[in-house]
Amino acid sequence: MCRLTLGEKDNPHNQHYRICVAVLTSQLLKDEIEYPKQSTSTSCSETEVSFKSTEAKDMTEGRTYKERIIECESRYVSRIEKISLYVSRAYLSNVVFVYRRDSLDHRMYLVNMLSDVSITDELNSFDFFED
C-alpha cells in the first residue's frame, strides 16, 4: 500500500486519492459519505489494528496485527462532522481492509473488507518505452 502512495499528491504515480475515492464511494458508504476531496496528506504509516467483535476476538485469540495504512478523509452527507477511514491492502488481489479509529480508546479496528477495489502493483504508464 505504501509503495502506491509515495511522493507528492500531484505525482501521477501517487495512487492515494484514487484508492480513497474507490473506498469512500463503494456501495457500503456511497449514501453515507460525500464524494471525497483530495487530501493534502498522502502519507502511509504502519499501525496496530485489532478486532472489536467478540467473535473476531475469539477467532484471533485477541491478537493485534501491524498493517500499513493510508488515511481517507471525507464528510458525512447528513452531518457536518468529518470522517476518517483507514485502508490497507488485504491478502487477495483487489481487496482492501477498511478501519476506523475508536474515539474512546483510540485504537484502530477493522470495520469491513471491500472487494473489487482496483489495487495494482504495477502502475499503468508508458514510462517503460524507449525513445
pLDDT one-digit tens code per residue, 79-114: 888 888 999 888 887 888 999 999 898 889 998 888
Residue 82 resides in a domain: yes
Contacts of 64 (CB under 8 A, 6+ apart): 48, 49, 50
Residue 109 has a pLDDT of 92
Please check whether residue 72 is in contact with residue 36, taking contact to mean a CB–CB distance below 8 angstroms: yes
Residue 29 lies in a domain: yes
Angle at 19 between CA 18 and CA 22, to 5 degrees: 85
| Intervals of the chain under pLDDT 50 | 122-131
pLDDT of amino acid 79: 86
Residue 127, in any domain of the structure: no
pLDDT of residue 3: 65
- The answer to the question of residue 61 being in a domain is yes
The answer to the question of residue 25 being in a domain is yes
Q: Residue 99's pLDDT is what? A: 92
Q: Domain count of the chain?
A: 1
pLDDT for the residue 131: 44
- Is pTM beyond 0.85? Reply is no
120 within some domain: no
The residue range of the domain holding 30 is 2-115
